Structure 1
């Protein structure tokens, strides 16, 4: 069973995606902040991280940069799910190291499909 760390500062967003991912067979660990996300990822070494960008204090861009600069976590795929749709945001997220970029509102099935696709790439 694949493990996902789900990061979003909004409880309602985490609840929606946690339910969908766990129903799809993933083991889901939740983080409500960037700091908590980095700690969980370093301890758990999940198969995939699903990450919001807009969070207080330590935002998703910085979380992505830190995880991708750490030799222990750089190989973990990061799927960004964000409401940011202004020009340049996708590119800055990709520059920070994200592996996939989805915009909210995003159907849970799209998140599941993207997570599965990155799991297959990691195994291949």
Structure 2
């Protein structure tokens, strides 16, 4: 299965961050969907069933921690890999990310190679097709 068959949902209230991740991931061969807040993101997860979610923590309405908890509480979505991105990068924030069910924690500003490596790991794409190596 090629990377173009993998769907990634980016949930971030910053239009600039959404656009940056959309370009980065689309150029790496993924189908990217966008949501501007946690509430919209949770709705899109139910309809799209993405292969991976990349989510900001600090958002209006439903923040990233609560959205992550809700994803993990839903039986149908509980195994979707989640990458949490945030400018809050204390050890306590990292611990909280994993406690609510995130698989990866990436601090802002987002490092392109770190993001692609995390996506690659979580989607378990091996055999020389590493996105991180292509970057």
Is TM > 0.5 for Structure 1 vs Structure 2? yes
TM category, shorter: over 0.9
Structure 1 counterpart of 2:38, from 34, 37, 40 = 34
Runs of 4+ in 1 over 4 A off after TM superposition: none
Structure 2 unaligned blocks of 5 or more: 126-135
| Alignment RMSD | 1.1
CA distance in 2, matches of 1:112, 1:85: 19
Q: Is residue 77–residue 118 contact of structure 1 (8 Å, CA) maintained in 2?
A: yes
Task: Show CA shifts across 1:5-25 (max 9, x none).
Answer: 001000001111110000000
Q: TM-score, normalised by structure 2?
A: 0.86
Bigger Cα Rg:
2
Q: Is residue 4–residue 27 contact of structure 1 (8 Å, CA) maintained in 2?
A: yes
CA distance in 1, matches of 2:85, 2:65: 12
Higher relative contact order (CA 8 A, sep 6+): 1
Q: TM-score, normalised by structure 1?
A: 0.94
Q: Report the count of equivalent residues.
A: 121
